Amino acid sequence: MLRKVIIPFFIILFAFTGCCMPSAESPSAETQAVTTAGDIQESESLFKGAWISYFELNRSGRSEEEYREYMRGLFENMKAVSVTDVFLHVRAAGDAAYVSGLFPPAEYICGEEKELPFDVLEMALGFGEQYGMNIHAWINPYRAFSEDDTESLPVCRLKTLLEDEKINPVKVNGKNYLNPASDEVRTLIIDGVREILSRYPDVRGIHIDDYFYPEGCGNFDKAEYESYISDGGKLSLYDFRRENVNSLVSGIYAAVKNYGSDKIFSVSPSGDIDKNYNTLYADVSLWCSVGGYCDMIIPQIYFGFENEAMPFEKTVDRWALLTENSSTRLVIGLALYKCGTEDAYAGDGGKNEWLEHSDIIKRQVEYIRQKNLHGFSLYSASFINFSESFLSEEVNNLKSVL
């Protein structure tokens, strides 16, 4: 899913602070925003989420105790802004920041070691219980990076299972992905969901983000599509791709519900509805309007009010229409990471908005309340920062309305 634009910032951030973190379980009855998938409280106590990405989980040579204290600081800051639910990045690229028999341990936790030095998910669940927060296990189902990838993403030692000819990653634009058209891939991903929920029963739910079919994917699924047509299939290639993603999403939903109706399956797609449908082959309109796909949809509406192409209010309104008569709860993903920065993609009229205003997130939360939406989630936890001047003013303004 997720957030290509922040990589340079994180590199700078880590140079000064290092990186790592997770979160966990169930809040008090007073602050808990989610009770069950079918009974989500509608009250002034909004769902207040925050993501912890794999960038932030980087061990950076810390001992277990140092890592624990770093994570504790993240939870302290999240608690200060009343976060109720944490989306913990436990599988970013075919690897695992938890004990897994299906996926290899994440190298950004292991370093030179071959096994996890400690279980990040288990640690986070402990902090979640301590601080009264739910932990949702966040996975990128299709990303699968290996040693010949050149960008600064986690190196993944893919096990023999992933080297099966029907599961083996395909390369798109120099990056490796599991093939969404493969039934075997879908089985592997769903088995991974079952593994998490069976081994970690206190996990509140499963969360996926915006990595579906990769942009510019070409024809890597040509063989699967030709086989589908030869078997009598009638869908166009693009509808075939959408159906592949639909099958995965509904399959994850069903697997999650097998562990209890109170378990939550959430999806965080791009904030651009049209891009989801036409480029990523993610039919978010279907998922929002028909049961059996997700409990919560959390679009990444990482745009300011003055964004020329996708101004915040109009974009939120489009998503609100999709969920207007649906049981799917709409939570808005907010770009805390943009505070104090130039937004190069917002057009001339909006590029300086995040530099000139320190109450954007506050006003966005107020708009979410005005629209009577379910809540919001902040990207990401390390930007809930009370020491950096360009963030502290924004975060304190946010606190004033929580």
pLDDT exceeds cutoff 80 at 160? no
58: closest CA among 23, 105, 18, 2?
18
**pLDDT tens-digit readout, 311-362:** 999 999 999 999 999 999 999 999 999 999 999 999 999 999 999 999 999 9
- pLDDT value at residue 26: 31
10 Å CB burial of residue 28 (0-12, 13-18, 19+) is exposed
Going by their DSSP bridges, the two strands 175-177 and 170-172 should be labelled as antiparallel
101 compared with 201, residue with greater pLDDT: 201
Is the Cβ–Cβ distance between 238 and 13 less than 8 Å? no
**pLDDT tens-digit readout, 205-232:** 999 999 999 999 999 999 999 999 999 9
User: Considering the chain, what is the average pLDDT of its residues?
Assistant: 87
pLDDT exceeds cutoff 80 at 388? yes
**pLDDT tens-digit readout, 97-107:** 999 988 888 88
382 compared with 25, residue with greater pLDDT: 382
Question: Residue 27 is which amino acid?
Answer: P
**pLDDT tens-digit readout, 257-287:** 999 999 999 999 999 999 999 999 999 999 9
- pLDDT value at residue 161: 53
**pLDDT tens-digit readout, 21-58:** 333 333 333 333 333 333 434 445 899 999 999 999 99
Span 156-171, mean pLDDT? 64
Question: Residue 66 is which amino acid?
Answer: E
- pLDDT value at residue 164: 65
160 compared with 354, residue with greater pLDDT: 354
Span 113-141, mean pLDDT? 96
The CA distance from 360 to 390, in Å, is: 12
Task: Work out the percent of the chain whose per-residue pLDDT is above 70.
Answer: 84
* Domains of the chain, start order: 4-141+184-212+236-399 (3.20.20.80)
pLDDT exceeds cutoff 60 at 149? no
Segment among 30-39, 163-172, 338-347, 393-402 with least mean pLDDT: 30-39
Phi and psi at residue 139, in whole multiples of 5°?
Answer: -125, 150
- What confidence tier does 163 reach under pLDDT thresholds 50, 70, 90? low
- pLDDT value at residue 37: 37
10 Å CB burial of residue 235 (0-12, 13-18, 19+) is middle
Span 102-115, mean pLDDT? 87
- pLDDT value at residue 151: 47
pLDDT exceeds cutoff 60 at 8? no
The CA distance from 119 to 155, in Å, is: 18
Neighbours of 58 (CB within 10 A): 22
- pLDDT value at residue 172: 87
125: closest CA among 24, 218, 206, 223?
24
**Could you please report the per-residue DSSP string of 378-393?**
ES-GGG--SSSHHHHH
Phi and psi at residue 316, in whole multiples of 5°?
Answer: -60, -45
Segment among 44-58, 74-88, 156-170 with least mean pLDDT: 156-170
159 compared with 51, residue with greater pLDDT: 51
Name the pTM for this structure: 0.88
The CA distance from 278 to 292, in Å, is: 22
